[in-house]
Amino acid sequence: MNADPAVSSFPSSLDGLLNPRTVAVIGASDDPLRIGGRPLAYMRSQGFTGALYPVNPNRASVQGLAAFPSIAALPETPDVAIVAVSAHLAPQAVADLGARGTRAAIVFSAGFAEMGDEGVLLERQLVSAARRGGVRLLGPNSLGVLNPRIGFYGSFTSVVEMGFPAAGRVAIASQSGAYGSHILGIARRNGIGISACVMTGNECDITLGDVIQSFVDDDATDVIAVYSEGIRDGAGLLCALDAARQARKPVVMMKVGTSTLGSAAAQSHTASIAGNDAVTDAVLADHGVVRATSTEHMLDVARLATRRIFPVNNALGVITVSGGAGVIVSDAADKVGLPMPAMPHAAQQRLKALIPFASPRNPVDCTAQFMNDLTVAGQFTRAVVEDGNYPSILGFFTYTVGADSIAEGLRVQLKAVRDAHPDRLLVLSILASPERVAQYEADGFPVFEDPARAVRAIDAMGRFGAAFARVPGRPAPRVPPLLLPARTPSEVEAKALLSTIGVAVVPEHLCTTPAAAVDAAQSLSFPVVMKIVSPDILHKSEMGGVLLGVSSADAVREGFALLMERASSAAPDARIDGVLVARQVSDGVECILGIQNDPVFGPVAMFGLGGIFVEVMQDVVLKKCPFGEDVAEQMIRSIRGAPLLLGARGKPPVDVRALAVMLSRLSVFAHQAGPRLRAVDLNPVFAMPEGQGAYAADAVIDVDGHVGGEDAADGLAGRAAAQPAPRS
Amino acid sequence: MNADPAVSSFPSSLDGLLNPRTVAVIGASDDPLRIGGRPLAYMRSQGFTGALYPVNPNRASVQGLAAFPSIAALPETPDVAIVAVSAHLAPQAVADLGARGTRAAIVFSAGFAEMGDEGVLLERQLVSAARRGGVRLLGPNSLGVLNPRIGFYGSFTSVVEMGFPAAGRVAIASQSGAYGSHILGIARRNGIGISACVMTGNECDITLGDVIQSFVDDDATDVIAVYSEGIRDGAGLLCALDAARQARKPVVMMKVGTSTLGSAAAQSHTASIAGNDAVTDAVLADHGVVRATSTEHMLDVARLATRRIFPVNNALGVITVSGGAGVIVSDAADKVGLPMPAMPHAAQQRLKALIPFASPRNPVDCTAQFMNDLTVAGQFTRAVVEDGNYPSILGFFTYTVGADSIAEGLRVQLKAVRDAHPDRLLVLSILASPERVAQYEADGFPVFEDPARAVRAIDAMGRFGAAFARVPGRPAPRVPPLLLPARTPSEVEAKALLSTIGVAVVPEHLCTTPAAAVDAAQSLSFPVVMKIVSPDILHKSEMGGVLLGVSSADAVREGFALLMERASSAAPDARIDGVLVARQVSDGVECILGIQNDPVFGPVAMFGLGGIFVEVMQDVVLKKCPFGEDVAEQMIRSIRGAPLLLGARGKPPVDVRALAVMLSRLSVFAHQAGPRLRAVDLNPVFAMPEGQGAYAADAVIDVDGHVGGEDAADGLAGRAAAQPAPRS
């Protein structure tokens, strides 16, 4: 994750940060409302289990605790130190902490990279002090760390004024202190217990990925909720997400905004079609993350995930007391794509025999009849669980359980089913008093008032289950390593390069004279396509550099002259390599294959249908490189327009296998090519009928000719510069 | 709405049902938990302001009230009667009520159309009794009516056991009793006051449309929230929705499930592409309804709408204290399409001068700085309101206002802005105690905890505003009225018919001999299209009845024989009119224009791009017929693929005006054609370059040959049969 040798002496675990036994507060204040006073006040009121050491050169005691004049004067080495001094004093404080042997510091102080150039300089000094002293650093501009299990409040967030969080199994990582606190407040109101909350601030050292990794390592954490405004360290994040998946710890993430388009990526066709947020979406989904669209959504998913039931092949059975209510659930399930297969026929008949006007299909509606005989609710629920055999079951009893006359009896019926099937996800959607809800929760039923929110959360559990169970795709194919040319190659050079990694191109010849062009056209058979070839002309069609359907020797001669004329008037200084004469393919389906080098996640491959429609419909699929052919084939089959490839309206299916081979090889090439590869566009690629292959008719390989940036040697700062500073 | 002369003597207003001064309960029970006992118990506990008359032949008093042995024995004519007797006794009770002069009855009794054939019969008797007696009837199988303003609880819903609803300005209409009660429960928890709640049950007489109309007429109602499972009376509903729009009363509607596809409509191409729920969606949006996707969404919108601020050209300005939090709002606004234009440049500079590290664009971030000086929050908010001049403003202060030290001061600042600008929609997203939230609400700030939900509700206010302000489109063109043929016409007949209303078709000739076909082809110039023509073959291409690119006289002769052979083997008994020889159009953009006769809303027009993509991408627009050319042009320009029509990638724009004329004329034709017109498919229509028109290359007019169904004379039952009975 952090390959810089200068930081190799840092402790790899952040345990001291999350579970300290001794805490020093540098710049401790006697005023419990000041930044340097709040953590002390909070920890004292919440019974922090460890030792507290205020450091303040001007006072003998702070908030009733013995204070120390300096870091050096501390009676023991604190596991973690909170730095609450002015920004300009912070680097020295961190240096002193390093000298005292402290391995983790939380820097509250603001006035660093978030404040412009001067602050950037100060932040570099802070990082440098931390490195030299071997201190892992959270912040600066961080709202800190909360661990309610041990009463550790290394934070000055005022959200706790409305109540301190309860201890529990959900860990929260937030880049924003303000929004992290907001989440804490909502979590508390929703009865969600917290194992830890870390707010990363400027991330000059400890990143979101580091924090997630520490939650993966933390035995007290079952579920990880993440709020991100801009990912700094894509590789580190993905590493941590992989670890979470292997540890079967679900990650639900709210990633707001769209990540910055690197200037290089923005120029590529692929990036302009897909947009960068689509890359984030695809990469996170691929790593098993459920991306939340709101705080409610995130906490709904987190709360349900604490039950630790993650169906692999999720399907929903619904038991309800109102047909209409059932339709609401069906609508919601349809919206998220959660299947609701019908009950087995025999079970349906049995339920019909019990209550003739019941709807036994799924949703199973036992009708208001259950109010007269509560065992009906039990029998029907048991049938849905046992006969229907659904991994997930939603009981939608609306307000009926609110009435005391019904609630207690129904509870007994439902609990019996719950206890007999501890492996099932049994969720209730009810409207009842907080006390009743708490009772059902204690019985093992997660409760959601709104059925649509219940369905969305249930669907997320299946996504986690599928991610945890996913068998890795076959390994990516071996592709001969290529040295990228020093600058963007011409179309002909690009195709030659791609040929060496097994990407098939449309038969064509580069011609430098009209006569050679005529010979080439005759050998390929008419009609042909003619294109200008120049390393200085990237987008040929915009300047009229492509002629289609050239169908005679005379037309080839005229076309040659026309292309030369257009090139010299559009780009007088361009070097012209000649004219490409290519076979005109007409019976294939046009596709587009591309690579964009995402500034956060590195090379990402794209597949979509080509032509004018892909731009309008944005029907593309994305995946981080590299990947094998089976994965590529899954990608191709997943686009909405896949029927056009698989034989719609009686047309023959295309050679999907050949497309998959091309896409997979392209992904390996991009992965091996390194950061100088900005983008690849194969557009169009003609997918021929099955067994006849797929051919790229045009290819652009966009290479960064500028080797090594100014910041190339400065790992930490360079990483931080990849995205704008977070605003919190 | 109800054209049946037999019901013309019914009172047109449902005032007696909503605001009765005298209420009789037929089948009144002494047991306050029984169906016949609950309404009495509720009304007595809630202090119903009118007179209560229990009817029970077996008791002298019921729940302490003097009881009457029969309806005839009542001391005065009740404004409304609650019928809580067994189903088989209900028709007589309604007849007796009619005789006593009562004009409105609420039938709780179940066991009617929802229970199969026998129940249908009983329900007809009930309707017949109501008609003869001049009684408007709610139900049967209805959970009744609640009007908390006067303590009228003509309902046996048990949801009130958790608390009775507060009186307010939101009226609720629900087809389901169970879900209507659920909504009441959630509304109460969210502090939403109710003017009335009506649950329509089987709708044997009073429909959802009638109820909405009564809410439009009700001075105590400002906002109408509707829950529907299947619309029975489309025309009546649309009438009521138009009235609501004219009265500036917003309607938010949760319509679950997809409406049943009439068997006729299901056969048409148009219906299979768009689906019937898409029709509902389009028709509701067109009538100014905001369609809610969940109860939360519905009640969020209803609650905000009670402020009665409906911006016409909505745009959102955001003031926040955290940059990241602002991004969440931007994401949410982007998702619903609510514009967030930037602050004026001068105002941005002024704010930058106040706080150098503020983000003054929009969202406007005054940073945590405001905590040190609360006038900053006031100044920034005032700038967003006055300089930004946004119709809607969201203040996203997260948890910061929860702290007592901040809340009171901030409140003063915000209230000053609020009071100075009563016309603006000023919404807060904060996390605070219920008491603080109530205080802000009282100050005139609607409060939403979740910012995304606030944004969605704000967006709905703009949709209402736009609907209220909408200028009707130019009138639909006059089209000569056509008599539909007795049965589905052949392609040639269909095109001749469409020609008379001004729909242009591709030049073509119907030929009955090979020689005539060759002559026709030569006059049109090669290549040509050849198609079999038969009134008995609706879908030609499936049986190989269409030949494309026929390019010589010999090929025409061979094609003629081939088509005849295919027709006689595919449909031996089909009458063959001949072979159509048509010009093959190649340089137009393929479109599809269609009509489907929706079982609920009548004829609906569809426009989309043609060819294979429309089926995969489902990029179509729908609108209830008829409409004028300007509206048709707006429709055409609104599809996602519109760039393909307007000149994408340097291609010439097509003749959108000609398409609009065709679509508008088709809509008028469908409107005039009446219920026997099942569907029209013009597919493909070639839209030629601007000024060159648009031509239908194929046309199907699907006509119901079966004139007058069994139920044709039975208006009420026929209407009810259009959709399955509601399940509640």
Task: Encode pLDDT of B350-408 as tens digits.
Answer: 999 998 878 899 999 887 777 778 888 899 999 999 999 999 999 998 888 777 778 88
Last residue of a domain, one of B560, B583, B606: B583
pLDDT for residue A118: 85
Classify residue B266: in a domain, yes or no.
Answer: no
As a dihedral over the C-alpha atoms of residue A385, residue A390, residue A391, residue A395, rounded to 10 degrees, the angle is -60
How many DSSP H helices and E strands does chain B contain? 25, 29
Contact B193, B165 (CB under 8 A): yes
For A258, the token pair is 């769209």
According to the model, what pLDDT value does residue B261 have? 30
Tell me: do A375 and A516 sit in the same domain. no
Question: pLDDT-based confidence at B717, cuts 50/70/90?
Answer: very low
Task: Please indicate, yes or no, if residue A237 is contained in any of the structural domains.
Answer: no
CATH of residue B138's domain is 3.40.50.720
pLDDT for residue A584 is more than 50: yes
CATH number at residue A561: 3.30.1490.20
Q: How far is CA B678 from CA A589, B262, B401, B621, in A?
A: 36, 10, 60, 19
Which B residues in the span 396-435 are in contact with A, Cβ-Cβ below 8 Å? Answer: 398-400, 402-405, 431-433
- Nearest Cα neighbor of B425 from B384, B394, B469 is B394
Q: Mean of the per-residue pLDDT values for chain B?
A: 88
Are B106 and B22 part of one and the same domain? yes
Res A529 pLDDT > 80: yes
Give, for B605, the enclosing helix (H) or strand (E): strand B602-609
CA-CA distance, A142 to B421, in Å (whole number)? 37
Of A567-571, A656-660, B106-110, B442-446, minimum mean pLDDT range: A567-571
> Domain count of chain B?
4
Bridge partners of A197, per DSSP, are A146, A172
Assign residue A413 the CATH number of its domain. Answer: 3.40.50.261
Q: Residues 296-315, chain B: which have Cβ within 8 Å of A?
A: 296
pLDDT in tens, A112-129: 887 778 889 999 999 999
Residue B49 contacts residue B148 (beta carbons within 8 Å)? no
B723 vs B144: CA distance, rounded Å: 22
Range of lowest pLDDT (A300-309, A447-456, A700-709, B472-481): A700-709
- Can you spell out the DSSP letters for A284-338? HHHTTPEEPSSHHHHHHHHHHHTT----SS--EEEEES-HHHHHHHHHHHHHHT-
Please indicate whether residue A120 or residue A721 has the higher confidence score (pLDDT).
Answer: A120
The pLDDT value recorded for residue A10 is 43
pLDDT at residue number A198? 98
CA distance to partner chain A, nearest, from residue B708 (Å): 32
Q: Tokens 């479109």 identify what position?
A: B591
What pLDDT was estimated at residue B201? 92
In Å, how far is B101's CA from the nearest CA of chain A? 34
pLDDT of A580 higher than 60: yes
Distance from CA of A332 to the nearest CA of B (A): 9
What's the rounded mean pLDDT across residues A673-688? 93
Select the residue of A296, A617, A728 nearest B322 (Cβ to Cβ): A728
Contact B328 A256 (CB under 8 A): yes
Domain with A334, as residue range(s), is: 316-445
- Whether A461 shows a pLDDT value over 70: the answer reads yes
- Minimum mean pLDDT range among A437-446, A558-567, B713-722: B713-722
Whether B307 is in a domain gets the answer: no
Quote the pLDDT of residue B649: 64
Is residue B283 in some structural domain? no
pLDDT at A76 over 60: yes
Average pLDDT value for chain A: 88
| Shared domain check, B452 and B338 | yes
Return the percentage of chain B with pLDDT > 70, whole number.
91
Are the CB atoms for B87 and B112 separated by under 8 Å? yes
Read off the pLDDT of each residue in B203-227 and give the average, rounded to a whole number. 96
Between A725 and A389, residue with greater pLDDT: A389
Q: Does residue B36 form part of some domain?
A: yes
B257 in contact with A at a CB cutoff of 8 Å? yes
Angle at which helices B345-354 and B374-386 cross, to 10°: 180
Residues in contact with B458: Cβ distance below 8 Å, sequence separation at least 6, in sequence order:
B304, B314, B316, B338, B392, B394, B425, B427
**Nearest chain A Cα to B325, which residue?**
A179
Looking at A156, A187, A221, the residue that finishes a domain is: A221
CATH number of domain containing B678: 3.30.470.20
Q: Do A212 and A335 fall within a single domain?
A: no
The pLDDT value given to residue B721: 35
Per CB-CB distance under 8 Å, the chain A contacts of B432 are 162
Asked if A357 reaches chain B (Cβ–Cβ under 8 Å), the answer is yes
Would the pLDDT of B724 be above 60? no
For residues A487-508, average pLDDT: 90
The more confident residue out of B80 and A9 is B80
User: What pLDDT does residue B711 have?
Assistant: 38
Residue B567 has pLDDT above 80, yes or no: yes
Q: Are residues A104 and A198 in the same domain?
A: yes
C-alpha–C-alpha distance, residues B504 and B693, integer Å: 8
Burial per residue of B195-211, b for 16 or more beta-carbon CB atoms within 10 angstroms, e otherwise: bbbbbbbbbbbbbbbbb
Last residue of a domain, one of A550, A582, A614: A582
A563 and A422, same structural domain? no
CA distances from B406 to A156, A158, B393, B410, B448 (A): 15, 11, 21, 6, 19
- pLDDT for res B130: 96
Residue B334 located in a structural domain? yes
Q: Are residues B542 and B573 in the same domain?
A: yes
Confidence bin at A719 (pLDDT 50/70/90):
very low
| Spatial contact of A290 and A622, defined as CB atoms under 8 Å apart | no
Contacts of B323 in chain A (CB under 8 A): 176, 229, 726-728
Instruction: Pick from B142, B613, B617 the residue to mutate for testing the A interface (most A CBs within 10 Å).
Output: B613
Q: Which of B182, B322, B402 comes nearest A179 by C-beta?
A: B322
Query: What is the pLDDT, as a whole number, of residue B536?
Result: 83
Number of Cβ within 10 Å of residue B565's Cβ equals 11
Distances, alpha carbon B287 to alpha carbons B242, B245, B290, B674, in Å: 6, 8, 9, 22
Please indicate, yes or no, if residue B463 is contained in any of the structural domains.
Answer: yes
Q: In what order do the strands lie in the sheet with B392-398?
A: B364-365, B316-320, B392-398, B425-430, B447-448
In a domain, A343, yes or no: yes
- Whether B546 and B634 share a structural domain: no
Collect all residues of chain B within an 8 Å Cβ-Cβ radius of residue A452: 293-296
- pLDDT bin (cut points 50, 70, 90) of residue A258 is low
Q: Which residues of B touch A727 (CB under 8 A)?
A: 322-324, 326, 359, 365
pLDDT of B10 reads 42
Q: Which pLDDT score, from 0 to 100, does residue A322 have?
A: 79
Tens digit of pLDDT for each residue in B269-287? 444 444 578 889 999 999 9
The pLDDT value given to residue B707:
57
B117 contact A CB<8A: no
Amino acid A358: pLDDT: 84
**B649 contact residues in A (CB cutoff 8 A):** 612
Whether residues B574 and B619 share a domain: the answer is no
Q: How far is CA A376 from CA A320, A373, A428, A468, in A?
A: 12, 6, 17, 37
Residue B620's DSSP bridge partners are B608
8 A C-beta contact, residue B231 and residue B600: yes
| pLDDT value for B719 | 35
Specify the DSSP element, H or E, that contains B509.
strand B508-511
Residue with more model confidence, B357 or B410: B410
Q: Band the pLDDT of A612: cuts 50, 70, 90.
A: low
Pair (B337, B414) in one structural domain: yes
ipTM of the complex: 0.83
Instruction: Please indicate whether, in this complex, the C-beta atoms of B256 and A328 are within 8 angstroms of each other.
Output: yes
Residues A353-407: pLDDT tens digits? 998 878 899 999 887 777 778 888 899 999 999 999 999 999 998 888 777 778 8
pLDDT per residue over B120-173, tens digit each? Answer: 999 999 999 999 999 999 999 999 999 999 999 999 999 998 899 999 999 999
**Residues B127 and B204 sit within 8 Å (Cβ to Cβ):** yes
Amino acid at B252: V
**pLDDT tens readout for residues B310-365:** 999 999 999 998 777 788 888 899 889 999 999 999 999 999 999 887 889 999 98
Residue B565 and residue B498 share a domain: no
- State the Cα–Cα distance between residues A606 and A663, nearest whole angstrom: 8
Q: pLDDT confidence of B522, banded at 50, 70, 90?
A: very high
Q: What is the mean pLDDT of residues B576-601?
A: 90
Reported as a single tens digit per residue, the pLDDT across B44-90 is 999 999 999 999 999 999 999 999 999 999 999 999 999 999 999 99
Q: What is the pLDDT of residue B278?
A: 86
What is the per-residue pLDDT across B654-705, written as a single tens digit (0 to 9) for each? 999 999 999 999 999 999 998 999 999 999 999 999 999 999 999 999 999 8
Residues B246-263 have a mean pLDDT of 74
Q: Is the pLDDT of residue B13 over 90?
A: no
* Same domain, yes or no: A414 and A549: no
